[in-house]
């Protein structure tokens, strides 16, 4: 299995490059290979949980998952992102790597870990100060204290600023009083709220001395010895499509009192004499700064999605390489599924996209690690932070949609067998489904990305709510964007990478040129951005309601964001391949990278034709090339999925893998 064709020599035009699976696996694991191996070992040790998800009752399985998370906490696997003085590992990057790898296993365990350490723990770490760290971190890192993250309400998911829960400061007792004004303001879909959480980080409108200061986070004890505390009502969200090992639920607060000190006060506080104060003056900006520190959640979900898709790809590719059906080229033997052109076309571009997103995710995770691990004396770079937030949002959106699509296609490629629970797709599909809408609805996230582009990550950006944002874009940002992306510059740039300039646009030579791919992606991004800016500006100039102009242009807004993130993803892949030493692996990943670039161009080729960047002839040539690349990659496919290193114990699927 280590090499596809033992005798092949790289560089030979016919023999495919030889892949050393363990070496490629190590390359994919990257900097945190050891951490990933630890998680793999933990997952294998507890692989029975995948079966138990099917055989246990819901209450049993929830308890099983809770205990397993506590056990894993004991190995240090789940606390890597917390400071060492509280029992953590002091390495945020390691923490992300550990989380991503968890996605090879049962995803209730993954999400339970995410809620406990990423959301609950992350909020206390990032929004709290030393007194909160001292009070909670050691217990939560060790898995003794389970908590939940009570942000979303029935009435407000995406629009967090409009939450209804209130926290009113009562100077008489020096306490905060939490209330749920109506049922739309109940906290909803909160992992841990139904059963296991003893504490909650509650997001509420903070009222001090009669003034609403916007949404803040407060630590609220909600249970003691499993019993709800006074004033707290909880309800189970009941059966969900998937992730049924996580006890999602609803919470109502009826005049619940907590000490003033429970306000997570890194960015705003109530003084001893009962005044509200914050170093950040603008309420909107304060809010977005707070939310911004929680970006880790999105990075984590994006990475998990990429890895969950790897499980599906491993199964479908390996099945396709052993399952035969129909005598297609010979009367003696039926054909392997993966030798059919259509089957290659269905699976291999998704495999390429998965590799691309793997490397893009590596870049985001490293970026996150850097931004949140400041070196002594370093000044915080606000723009870098905002770019990270945008990139995390965009990568999360693309990666989670990729997972949904890939798992679906892989299931279908395994036919009826793919429908049996033992073959993993049932859980993969049901459990990952919510990834596209939790931790930020993907479409909302892409709009965030687009707004970052329209404003060039201006600091003012964070001072504004949705409507204010639209006004800012209309009044200030558009001219700049239009100038910045003046089309003639772009055209020149593309002509540069084409040997003969526009005159030889049609020639097929160069269709595999990576500079050409990058130029196409960049052109599309900038052209779409300037087009959007001009479109919005026309609306402004015509005196229309800017909200309506935005709504009408919304599919263009999404398209701009997608083009931007796709460019970042391709750059990550190309950068990675370029940095590799010469050799067969570089050749193999180069083929994958080309397939990814061309399949992306192919799927948006209408746009390129509409904007004069593709002739019909070249568009057809690209489609042919995608088919050719699939055929070239066919012999490497099994090695490429084996290099993901999904432990066989987690694949299950005896009938698919034989």
Min dist. Cβ of residue 460 to a second copy (A): 18
Interaction between residue 159 and a second copy (CB under 8 A) = yes
Give the span between the Cα atoms of 323 and 329, in whole angstroms. 15
Min dist. Cβ of residue 251 to a second copy (A): 15
Question: What residues between 360 and 389 interact with a second copy by CB under 8 A?
Answer: none
Given the complex with a second copy, which of 144 and 538 has the nearer CB atom? Answer: 538
Interface residue with a second copy, options 64, 112, 156, 286 (CB under 8 A): 156
Which two three-digit tokens encode residue 397?
Answer: 């959106």
Give the span between the Cα atoms of 172 and 167, in whole angstroms. 15
Question: What residues between 220 and 259 interact with a second copy by CB under 8 A?
Answer: 237-242
Q: Please report how many Cα atoms fall inside a 13 Å half-sphere around the Cα of residue 172, on the Cβ side.
A: 3
Given the complex with a second copy, which of 348 and 371 has the nearer CB atom? Answer: 348
Min dist. Cβ of residue 355 to a second copy (A): 22
Question: What residues between 567 and 626 interact with a second copy by CB under 8 A?
Answer: 605-606, 609-612, 616, 619-620
* Helix, strand or coil, per DSSP, at residue 276: strand
The answer for residues whose C-beta is within 8 angstroms of residue 396's C-beta and 6 or more apart is 298, 299, 301, 302, 305, 439, 440, 442, 445
Interaction between residue 505 and a second copy (CB under 8 A) = no
Interface residue with a second copy, options 5, 329, 373, 459 (CB under 8 A): 329
Interaction between residue 652 and a second copy (CB under 8 A) = no
Interaction between residue 2 and a second copy (CB under 8 A) = no
Q: Buried b / exposed e across 477-503, counting CB within 10 Å, b at 16+?
A: bbeebbeebeeeebeeebeebbeeeee
Concatenating the DSSP letter of every residue in 562-590 gives HHHHHHHHHHHHHHHHHHSPSSHHHHHHH
Given the complex with a second copy, which of 278 and 404 has the nearer CB atom? Answer: 404
| Backbone phi and psi for residue 16, each to the nearest 5 degrees, phi listed first | -70, 155
Interaction between residue 160 and a second copy (CB under 8 A) = no
Contact stretch for a second copy (CB under 8 A) within 96-104, 217-225, 309-317, 437-445: 437-445
Given the complex with a second copy, which of 342 and 486 has the nearer CB atom? Answer: 342
The answer to whether 126 touches 264, Cβ cutoff 8 Å, is: no
| Backbone phi and psi for residue 207, each to the nearest 5 degrees, phi listed first | -105, 120
Give the span between the Cα atoms of 215 and 562, in whole angstroms. 30
Which two three-digit tokens encode residue 349?
Answer: 């571009």
Given the complex with a second copy, which of 37 and 441 has the nearer CB atom? Answer: 441
Given the complex with a second copy, which of 22 and 415 has the nearer CB atom? Answer: 415
| Backbone phi and psi for residue 105, each to the nearest 5 degrees, phi listed first | -105, -155
Question: What residues between 163 and 202 interact with a second copy by CB under 8 A?
Answer: 188-189
Min dist. Cβ of residue 281 to a second copy (A): 21
Query: Residue 361: how many CB atoms within 10 A of its CB?
Result: 26
Given the complex with a second copy, which of 555 and 582 has the nearer CB atom? Answer: 555
Give the span between the Cα atoms of 188 and 178, in whole angstroms. 16
Interaction between residue 20 and a second copy (CB under 8 A) = no
Question: What residues between 622 and 641 interact with a second copy by CB under 8 A?
Answer: 627, 631
Question: What residues between 506 and 545 interact with a second copy by CB under 8 A?
Answer: 545
Interaction between residue 154 and a second copy (CB under 8 A) = yes
Min dist. Cβ of residue 112 to a second copy (A): 16
How many of the chain's residues bind a second copy (CB under 8 A)?
81
The dihedral through the CA atoms of 126, 127, 133, 138 has a sign that is: negative
Interaction between residue 341 and a second copy (CB under 8 A) = yes
**Sequence-ordered strand ranges (E) for 266-379:** 269-270, 276-277
The answer to whether 471 touches 454, Cβ cutoff 8 Å, is: no
Contact stretch for a second copy (CB under 8 A) within 164-172, 214-222, 377-385, 409-417: 409-417
Q: Could you tell me the CA-to-CA distances from 201 to 106, 126, 153, 300, 522 in Å, in that order?
A: 26, 12, 13, 19, 41
Give the span between the Cα atoms of 23 and 39, in whole angstroms. 19
Question: What residues between 70 and 129 interact with a second copy by CB under 8 A?
Answer: none
Which two three-digit tokens encode residue 563?
Answer: 């083009």
Min dist. Cβ of residue 653 to a second copy (A): 13
Min dist. Cβ of residue 619 to a second copy (A): 5
Q: Classify residue 631 as left (phi > 0), alpha (psi -120 to 50) or beta.
A: alpha
Nearest by Cα to 182 from 117, 114, 253: 253
CA-CA-CA-CA dihedral for 598, 602, 608, 614, to nearest 10: 70
Given the complex with a second copy, which of 433 and 571 has the nearer CB atom? Answer: 433
Interface residue with a second copy, options 77, 108, 152, 205 (CB under 8 A): 152
Given the complex with a second copy, which of 46 and 411 has the nearer CB atom? Answer: 411
Min dist. Cβ of residue 588 to a second copy (A): 22
Site mask, a second copy, residues 546-565, x = CB under 8 A? Answer: -xx-xxxxxx-xx-------
Question: What residues between 41 and 80 interact with a second copy by CB under 8 A?
Answer: 54
Interface residue with a second copy, options 75, 158, 480, 507 (CB under 8 A): 158
Which two three-digit tokens encode residue 414?
Answer: 């395994």
Given the complex with a second copy, which of 50 and 145 has the nearer CB atom? Answer: 50
Give the span between the Cα atoms of 368 and 263, in whole angstroms. 26
Contact stretch for a second copy (CB under 8 A) within 63-71, 148-156, 362-370, 481-489: 148-156
Contact stretch for a second copy (CB under 8 A) within 168-176, 193-201, 306-314, 403-411: 403-411
Interaction between residue 436 and a second copy (CB under 8 A) = yes
Nearest by Cα to 398 from 274, 554, 520, 558: 558
Which residue(s) pair with 147 in the sheet? 199
Contact stretch for a second copy (CB under 8 A) within 60-68, 203-211, 425-433, 562-570: 425-433
- The DSSP element (H or E) to which 527 belongs, if any, is helix 514-541
Q: Buried b / exposed e across 36-75, counting CB within 10 Å, b at 16+?
A: bebbbebbeebbebbebbeebeeeebbbbbbebbbebbee
Which residue(s) pair with 419 in the sheet? none
Site mask, a second copy, residues 285-324, x = CB under 8 A? Answer: ----------------------------------------
Min dist. Cβ of residue 490 to a second copy (A): 17
Min dist. Cβ of residue 56 to a second copy (A): 12
Interaction between residue 345 and a second copy (CB under 8 A) = yes
Contact stretch for a second copy (CB under 8 A) within 65-73, 193-201, 280-288, 336-344: 336-344
Contact stretch for a second copy (CB under 8 A) within 95-103, 137-145, 426-434, 563-571: 426-434
Given the complex with a second copy, which of 324 and 578 has the nearer CB atom? Answer: 324
Interaction between residue 434 and a second copy (CB under 8 A) = yes
């Amino acid at each position: 299995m280590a090499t596809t064709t033992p005798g092949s020599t790289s560089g030979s035009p016919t023999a495919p490059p030889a892949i050393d699976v363990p070496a490629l696996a190590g390359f994919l694991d990257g900097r945190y290979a050891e951490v990933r191996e630890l998680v793999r070992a933990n997952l294998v040790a507890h692989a029975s949980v995948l079966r138990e998800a099917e055989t246990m009752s819901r209450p049993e399985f929830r308890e099983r998952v809770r205990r397993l998370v506590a056990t894993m906490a004991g190995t240090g696997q789940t606390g890597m992102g917390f400071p060492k003085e509280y029992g953590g590992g002091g390495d945020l990057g390691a923490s992300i790597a550990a989380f991503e790898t968890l996605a090879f296993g049962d995803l209730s365990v993954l999400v339970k870990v995410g809620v406990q350490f990423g959301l609950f723990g992350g909020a206390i770490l990032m929004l709290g100060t030393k007194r909160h760290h001292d009070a909670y971190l050691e217990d939560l890192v060790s898995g003794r204290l389970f908590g939940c993250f009570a942000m979303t309400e029935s009435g407000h998911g995406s629009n967090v600023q409009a939450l209804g829960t209130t926290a009113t400061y009562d100077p008489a007792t020096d306490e905060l009083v939490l209330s749920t004004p109506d049922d739309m303001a109940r906290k909803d879909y909160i992992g841990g709220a139904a059963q296991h959480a003893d504490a909650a980080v509650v997001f509420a409108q903070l009222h001090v001395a009669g003034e609403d200061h916007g949404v803040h986070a407060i630590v609220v004890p909600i249970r003691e010895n499993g019993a709800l505390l006074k004033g707290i009502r909880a309800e189970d969200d009941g059966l969900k499509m998937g992730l049924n090992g996580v006890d999602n639920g609803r919470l109502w607060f009826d005049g619940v009192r907590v000490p003033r000190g429970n306000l997570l006060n890194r960015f705003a506080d109530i003084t001893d004499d009962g005044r509200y104060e914050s170093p950040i003056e603008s309420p909107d900006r304060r809010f977005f700064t707070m939310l911004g520190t929680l970006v880790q959640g999105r990075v984590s979900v994006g990475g998990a999605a990429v890895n969950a898709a790897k499980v599906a790809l491993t199964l479908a590719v390996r099945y396709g390489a052993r399952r035969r059906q129909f005598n297609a080229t010979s009367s003696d033997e039926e054909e392997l599924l993966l030798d059919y052109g259509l089957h290659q076309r269905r699976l291999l571009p998704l495999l390429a996209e998965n590799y691309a997103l793997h490397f893009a995710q590596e870049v985001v995770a490293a970026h996150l690690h850097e931004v949140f691990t400041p070196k002594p004396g370093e000044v915080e770079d606000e723009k870098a932070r905002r770019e990270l937030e945008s990139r995390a949002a965009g990568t999360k959106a693309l990666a989670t949609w990729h997972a949904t699509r890939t798992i679906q296609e892989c299931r279908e490629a395994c036919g009826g067998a793919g429908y049996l629970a033992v073959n993993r797709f049932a859980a993969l599909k049901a459990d990952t489904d919510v990834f596209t809408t939790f931790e930020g609805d993907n479409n909302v996230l892409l709009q965030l990305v687009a707004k970052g582009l329209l404003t060039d990550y201006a600091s003012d950006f964070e001072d504004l709510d949705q409507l204010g944002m639209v006004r800012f874009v209309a009044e200030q940002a558009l001219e700049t964007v239009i100038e910045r992306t003046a089309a003639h510059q772009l055209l020149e740039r593309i002509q540069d990478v084409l040997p003969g300039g526009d005159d030889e646009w049609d020639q097929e030579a160069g269709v595999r040129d990576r500079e050409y791919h990058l130029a196409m992606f960049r052109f599309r991004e900038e052209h779409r951005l300037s087009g959007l800016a001009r479109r919005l500006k026309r609306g402004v100039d015509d005196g229309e309601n800017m909200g309506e102009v935005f709504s009408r242009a919304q599919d263009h807004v999404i398209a701009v964001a997608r083009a931007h993130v796709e460019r970042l993803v391709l750059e990550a892949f190309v950068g990675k391949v370029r940095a590799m030493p010469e050799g067969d692996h570089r050749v193999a990943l180069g083929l994958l990278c080309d397939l990814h670039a061309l399949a992306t161009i192919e799927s948006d080729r209408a746009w390129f034709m509409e904007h004069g960047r593709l002739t019909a002839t070249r568009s057809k040539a690209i489609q042919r090339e995608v088919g050719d690349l699939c055929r070239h990659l066919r012999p490497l496919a099994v090695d490429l999925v084996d290099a993901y290193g999904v432990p066989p114990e987690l694949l299950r699927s005896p009938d698919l893998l034989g």
